[in-house]
Structure 1
Amino acid sequence: MPDIALYQPDIPQNTGTILRMAACLGLSVHLIEPAGFALSDRNLRRAGLDYLDQAAMQRHLDWAAFESWRKAEGRRLLLLTTAAATAYTDFAFESSDILLMGRESAGAPPEVHEAADARLIIPMRPPARSLNIALAAAMVTGEALRQTAQFP
């Protein structure tokens, strides 16, 4: 099944929501630190409810540690970004993909863009710029699961 990765997340409620979704769907979440909040944050717990204990979360000390792990695993990295040209609905997902979300406040830095095997966008009508990261993660994860027939 695809995994979700969060690059230095800023907002605990979004991370909690994504962890809850992942727990319900049986997905793993990779948290690339540093996060902008303590993982014991009550807002994280509130958004994740009682699903956080069921969530498969792997913490990576930093981007280099995550990249080292990912390359050793031979996994494809797909970055969701407003700077992409390929719509997620036009992309062929594989079950071993990692769907990477950038920081809510700043997206992903150039070295993360360069490391991505593909960069995907959720098409929106102007002048809209972006969606909430948890909503974007849910949309793209749903399409990846649909294409790879991985629904629980």
Structure 2
Amino acid sequence: MLIEPEIPQNTGNIARLTAATKSKLHLVGKLGFRIDEHSVRRAGVDYWHLVELEQHTDFEQFRARLPAPRLCLFSALGTKSYLDAGYKPGDALVFGKESKGLDDALLERFPDDVYGIPTLGPVRSLNLANAVSIVLYEALRQIGALSQTTLG
């Protein structure tokens, strides 16, 4: 799930990732761009029809529409590694907007469910699309979903 994504290229890359992995993409809140057919086509996104997409006006609407998924929130402020999340089918992977990440109130509301991606150098955080890719593939690996992949 992306909460208020701001950069269309990141969301486009994440949409391609979700289509490639047969994962659902949830977009929550105000988007920093349009995703109507004309805008998507003009951006050269020719796989949008493969994306399983749900839009939600806010986080509470997302929670109300889904059958109580376990949340895994990702933040540069997370003190637990994404590798230790113990992913299960149906988990909701939650990422914030590029400029600010997830709101402090949301992180405080779910303090035991906040994870980070460790970095080895002085860079504090990663690009949103890269972070989603890293976490999603680890989650898929942990639940055994990658055994059904197409290589090459």
Q: Same fold (TM over 0.5)?
A: yes
- Structure possessing the higher relative contact order (Cα contacts under 8 Å, 6 or more residues apart): 1
Contact 2:72 2:85 in 1 (8 A): no
Deviations 1:43-97 (A, max 9, x none): 78636x2211110000001122123224xx0100111101111111122111110
Q: Judge which range, 51-60 or 106-115, deviates more.
A: 106-115
Contact 2:16 2:48 in 1 (8 A): yes
Distance 1:135 1:68, change over 3 A: same
* Alpha-carbon distance between aligned partners in 2 of 1:108 and 1:89, rounded to the nearest angstrom: 19
- After the TM superposition, which residues 1-152 of structure 1 pair with which residues of structure 2 at under 5 Å, given as runs? 5-40=1-36, 42=39, 46=43, 49-70=45-66, 73-116=67-110, 118-151=113-146, 152=148
Identity %: 34
Matched residue count: 145
Contact 2:40 2:48 in 1 (8 A): no
CA radius of gyration, larger in: 2
* Alpha-carbon distance between aligned partners in 2 of 1:115 and 1:51, rounded to the nearest angstrom: 36
Contact 1:13 1:43 in 2 (8 A): no
Q: Give the unaligned 5+ runs of structure 2.
A: none
RMSD, aligned α-carbons: 1.9
TM-score normalised by L of structure 1: 0.87
Q: Give the unaligned 5+ runs of structure 1.
A: none
TM-score normalised by L of structure 2: 0.87
Distance 1:44 1:147, change over 3 A: farther
Query: Runs in 1 of length 4+ with deviation above 3 angstroms?
Result: 40-47, 114-117
1:143 Cα deviation after fit:
0.5
Q: Judge which range, 133-142 or 58-67, deviates more.
A: 58-67
